[in-house]
């Protein structure tokens, strides 16, 4: 079984997609029209440092991931499963046929605008502690308004909350043996309770979009289980303010028989996580309602 994994915000870099734009001029023309400016210049030249601003990062990265996926589909068979980290989930759903390229770009553009309006927040990657250890650390420093945002691996957790509270967490991490931390370049407390106003506005926008059922199973960030045929919009809206359950998502892929993955993204961010999770003891096999084991089912960043 094979799975394709799509990177999210944090994987962007100036120069991304350079070899792909000439190969897919029809996609580039659509992107230019939707974004109101040349996507090639945005990705290659990074004018005014916009690639690190959420409202521009997200659509630019979506386009580059989509072009790389189109190239892969033109050269070989589709995978058995799909998954994407935060923003990357939209590329996974595009590959699964839930919407076309332009519809997905319009969704991501609106998502980036709403998330880009959030300010006063911060995110911090905590390395070397399991989720329970991070929760205990938050309790010790009184960070009651900081949430676990990305559960990436067994010992890599991203926290999200008000900037001052996250600074207190950073100080506590540095005083904890065996732990270290890396501040993330975000202006908002993504994937936390503080994004609920944006979530509500995004849900209203998604009500205007028609989604098709996935043709290939896509593991959702919110549930770490495949999207149901009629629940895509709800899970995408919830994703903005809910933790990315990436560790569980990778475990779910392994549990369903995936042994091979391919990462799509300008930087190698997801493959190290896959390797870490794949080295863990195998998760329990799925069981049918009667209790017998089931056979395998065929088929970054901060935001």
Catalytic residue numbers? 86, 191
Nearest partner of 65 among 291, 204, 267, judged by Cα: 267
> At which residue do the structure tokens 């734009």 appear?
21
219, two tokens: 């593991």
DSSP for 167-226, written as a single string: HHHHHHHHTSTT-EEEEES-SS-TTSGGGHHHHHHHHHHHTT---PPPSS-EE-TTTSSB
For 281, counting Cβ atoms within 10 Å of its Cβ (0-12 exposed, 13-18 middle, 19+ buried), the class is exposed
Cα torsion through 222, 262, 264, 266, rounded to 10: 120
Strand locations in 70-224 (E):
81-84, 121-127, 147-153, 156-162, 180-184, 218-219
Cα(31)–Cα(56) distance, rounded to whole angstroms? 12
Is the C-alpha dihedral spanning 224, 228, 233, 234 positive or negative? negative
Angle between helices 163-174 and 131-140 (to 10 degrees): 110
The answer to whether 16 and 64 are in contact (CB under 8 A) is yes
In this structure, the number of other CB atoms found within 10 A of the CB of residue 138 comes to 22
The residues with which 29 forms a beta bridge, in sequence order, are none
The answer to whether 34 and 60 are in contact (CB under 8 A) is no
């Amino acid at each position: 079984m094979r799975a394709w994994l799509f990177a999210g915000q944090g994987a962007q870099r100036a120069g991304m997609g350079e070899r792909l734009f000439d190969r897919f001029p029809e996609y580039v023309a659509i992107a230019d029209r939707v974004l109101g400016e040349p996507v090639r210049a945005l990705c290659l030249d990074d004018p005014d440092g916009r690639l690190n601003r959420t409202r521009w990062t997200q659509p630019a990265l979506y386009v580059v991931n989509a072009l790389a996926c189109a190239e892969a589909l033109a050269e070989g068979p589709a995978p058995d499963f799909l998954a994407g980290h935060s923003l990357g989930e939209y590329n996974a759903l595009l590959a699964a046929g839930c919407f076309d390229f332009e519809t997905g770009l319009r969704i991501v553009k609106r998502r980036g605008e709403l998330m880009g309006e959030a300010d006063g927040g911060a995110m911090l990657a905590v390395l070397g502690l399991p989720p329970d250890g991070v929760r205990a650390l938050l309790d010790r420093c009184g960070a009651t308004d900081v949430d676990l945002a990305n559960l990436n691996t067994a010992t890599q957790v991203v926290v999200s909350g008000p900037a001052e509270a996250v600074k207190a967490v950073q100080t506590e991490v540095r005083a904890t043996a065996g732990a270290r931390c890396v501040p993330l370049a975000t202006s908002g407390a993504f994937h936390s309770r503080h994004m609920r106003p944006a979530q509500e506005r995004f849900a209203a926008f998604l009500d205007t979009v028609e989604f098709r059922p996935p043709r290939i199973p896509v593991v959702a960030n919110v549930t770490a289980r495949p999207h149901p045929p009629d629940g895509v919009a709800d899970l995408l809206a919830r994703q903005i303010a809910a933790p990315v359950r990436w560790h569980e998502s990778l475990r779910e892929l392994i549990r369903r028989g995936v042994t091979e993955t391919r990462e799509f993204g300008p930087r190698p961010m997801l493959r190290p996580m896959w390797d870490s999770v794949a080295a863990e003891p195998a998760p329990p096999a799925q069981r049918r309602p009667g209790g017998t084991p089931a056979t395998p089912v065929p088929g970054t960043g901060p935001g």
